[in-house]
Chains A and B, each alone.
Chain A
Amino acid sequence: NAGVTQTPKFQVLKTGQSMTLQCAQDMNHEYMSWYRQDPGMGLRLIHYSVGAGITDQGEVPNGYNVSRSTTEDFPLRLLSAAPSQTSVYFCASSYWDRTYEQYFGPGTRLTVT
């Protein structure tokens, strides 16, 4: 198992550009999530999905879109990047029951200039 994979590892964008952060998992997990990590703020939930075709907003969803067309993939789209979106982004997946841990990807470090 590759676990949770994320691409790219690093990305620099200019303000207003768009991009998609990729996330894939090969563990057949129902749940997938996106978090952003900022210094002194821990991880904050952006969007999550409870299964293919079902997504919902987390704590900080503004400026981000998601879709879940397959169980394996959960891409995060930035439609018009802003400097406030400079952060490290983590994707995570887990089984449906909350007793199970979340498995995290290695992260994508995004800088918006």
Chain B
Amino acid sequence: AQSVTQLGSHVSVSEGALVLLRCNYSSSVPPYLFWYVQYPNQGLQLLLKYTTGATLVKGINGFEAEFKKSETSFHLTKPSAHMSDAAEYFCAVSLTGTASKLTFGTGTRLQVTL
């Protein structure tokens, strides 16, 4: 079975500060890992993904994440938060097989303050 744990349902940072959103997964096979962002009253949009190869993955809007197999983690970071980053962020994992079967974490709501 696979599962995803996102530590912290709410994270608040000041504009310009580092953003760190944590994601740990459990999987018995090599996972494919995704971060999605959801702006208010909208669907989900892909930020970045790890499939194979380079473990440091760069995504849109200045976000990046590093796959650490030894720590079973895939934390999302951004060096400098912007007000427009305020949204809910979801980590998701997919095992081998159908692309449809994503397992999502419970989400982290990011608040950015002045």
Residues of A bordering B, CB below 8 Å: 4, 31-33, 35, 40-45, 48-50, 58, 90, 92, 94-102, 104-107
- Which residue of the partner chain, among B4, B9, B46, B98, contacts A31 with CB atoms under 8 Å? B98
Selected from B43, B90, B101, B103, the residue in CB contact (under 8 A) with A107 is B43
6 CB-based A-B contacts, threshold 8 Å = A31-B98, A40-B107, A95-B99, A99-B51, A102-B99, A104-B44
Question: Does the CB pair A48–B106 fall under 8 Å?
Answer: no
**Contacts A90-B43, A104-B44 given; does A43 touch B104 at CB 8 Å:** yes
Q: Which of A44, A95, A101, A107 contacts B104 (CB 8 A)?
A: A44
Known: A43-B90, A45-B102, A58-B101. A99 touches B32 (CB 8 A): yes
Residues of B within 8 A of A48 (CB): 98, 100-101
Bound form: Cα–Cα A90–B43 in Å: 7
Q: Which residue of A lies closest to B99 (CB)?
A: A98
B42 within 8 A of A: yes
- Taking a contact as CB atoms under 8 Å apart, the answer to whether A98 and B96 are in contact is yes
Interface membership of B34, Cβ < 8 A: yes
Q: Which B residue sits closest to A99, measured CB to CB?
A: B51
Nearest chain B residue, comparing its CB with the CB of A91: B43
Q: Identify A42's interface contact among B42, B97, B106, CB under 8 A.
A: B106
Q: Is the CB of A42 within 8 A of B107?
A: yes
Contact A100 to B101, CB < 8 A, known contacts A40-B9, A90-B43, A105-B43 = no
A98 near B98 (CB under 8 angstroms)?
yes
> Which residues of B have CB within 8 Å of A99?
32, 49, 51, 99
Tell me whether A42 and B100 are in contact (CB under 8 A): no
Q: How far is the CA of A99 from the CA of B46 in the complex (A)?
A: 12
Closest Cβ of chain A: how far from B22's Cβ, in Å? 15
